[in-house]
């Protein structure tokens, strides 16, 4: 019986040897990728996810961004129906304050990052700073559109076309605010590259897409 068991073990090991060799070869190939290829793969993964999200929304799929945009439209219609101008101004003031704070904070962080990235490569530093500047810019533009809508609410009350324009402005403001947060999250990718190398940046890219997929499906 022992001889039979030993023979079975030897046969199984012999059968699995090609699979183990193939797995080892694949692992060596992945770990030996050129750093530029690994970094590019991480960036491509993030960009592809955002493009797929936009495509699914155009095809009618729901997402957190799309649901919140519809909520902005319903909010505008409620304000017009009830003539709640004071309520609208107070709500927009809170939104403008939050977006302005985010924009100034992120822009300050971008300025501080420039001084702290002296030993980073130009591409690493540019990746961090560009994500931060893009985040600050979109937050500030969201606040600008909210301010514009605040002036327009009472004026547009009597015209259906102008009311639709206000709704469009609020949807654009929401999308810019969403993009501000998304760009801020994207900073984790170049930071991982800077702190732990290309392989870590690829892992962070995959982790971010999993996080985004969960958040966007709400």
Q: Collapse the DSSP code of 73 into the 3-class scheme (helix H, G, I; strand E, B; otherwise coil) and give the result.
A: helix
Instruction: Assess whether pLDDT exceeds 50 at residue 199.
Output: yes
171 and 75 co-located in one domain:
yes
Q: Please tell me the predicted confidence (pLDDT) of residue 122.
A: 86
Instruction: Assess whether pLDDT exceeds 70 at residue 91.
Output: yes
> What DSSP assignment string belongs to 80-137?
HHHT-HHHHHHHHHHHHHHHHHHHHHHHHHHHHHHHH-TTS-HHHHHHHHHHHHHHHH
Domain count, the chain: 2
Q: Please tell me the predicted confidence (pLDDT) of residue 33.
A: 56
Report the percentage of the chain scoring pLDDT > 70. Answer: 85
155 and 69 co-located in one domain:
yes
175 and 87 co-located in one domain:
yes
28 and 43 co-located in one domain:
no
The whole-chain average pLDDT of the chain stands at: 85
Domain range holding 21? 1-32
20 and 40 co-located in one domain:
no
Instruction: Assess whether pLDDT exceeds 50 at residue 22.
Output: no
- What pTM did the predictor assign? 0.80
142 and 92 co-located in one domain:
yes
Do 190 and 176 touch, CB atoms closer than 8 A?
A: no
Instruction: Assess whether pLDDT exceeds 90 at residue 76.
Output: yes
CA angle 84, 90, 91 (to 5 degrees): 90
Report the percentage of the chain scoring pLDDT > 90. Answer: 62
Cα-atom radius of gyration of the chain, to the nearest Å?
25
24 and 125 co-located in one domain:
no
- Residue 175: closest CA among 126, 212, 141: 141
76 and 110 co-located in one domain:
yes
Q: Please tell me the predicted confidence (pLDDT) of residue 118.
A: 78
Instruction: Assess whether pLDDT exceeds 80 at residue 107.
Output: yes
Q: Please tell me the predicted confidence (pLDDT) of residue 16.
A: 37
């Amino acid at each position: 019986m022992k001889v039979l068991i030993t023979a079975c073990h030897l046969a199984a090991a012999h059968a699995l040897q090609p699979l183990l060799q193939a797995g080892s070869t694949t692992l060596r190939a992945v770990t030996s990728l050129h750093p530029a290829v690994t970094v590019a793969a991480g960036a491509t993964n993030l960009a592809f996810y955002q493009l797929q999200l936009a495509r699914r929304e155009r095809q009618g799929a729901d997402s957190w961004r799309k649901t919140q945009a519809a909520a902005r439209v319903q909010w505008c219609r409620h304000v017009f129906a009830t003539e709640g101008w004071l309520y609208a101004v107070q709500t927009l003031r809170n939104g403008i304050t939050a977006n302005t704070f985010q924009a100034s904070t992120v822009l300050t962080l971008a300025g501080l990052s420039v001084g702290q990235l002296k030993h980073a490569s130009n591409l690493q530093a540019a990746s961090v700073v560009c994500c931060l500047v893009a985040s600050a810019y979109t937050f500030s533009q969201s606040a600008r559109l909210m301010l514009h809508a605040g002036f327009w609410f009472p004026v547009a009350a009597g015209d259906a076309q102008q009311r639709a324009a206000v709704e469009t402005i609020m949807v654009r403001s929401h999308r810019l605010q969403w993009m501000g947060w998304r760009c801020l999250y994207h900073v984790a990718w170049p930071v991982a590259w800077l702190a732990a190398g290309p392989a870590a940046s690829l892992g962070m890219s995959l982790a971010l897409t999993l996080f985004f997929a969960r958040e966007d499906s709400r």
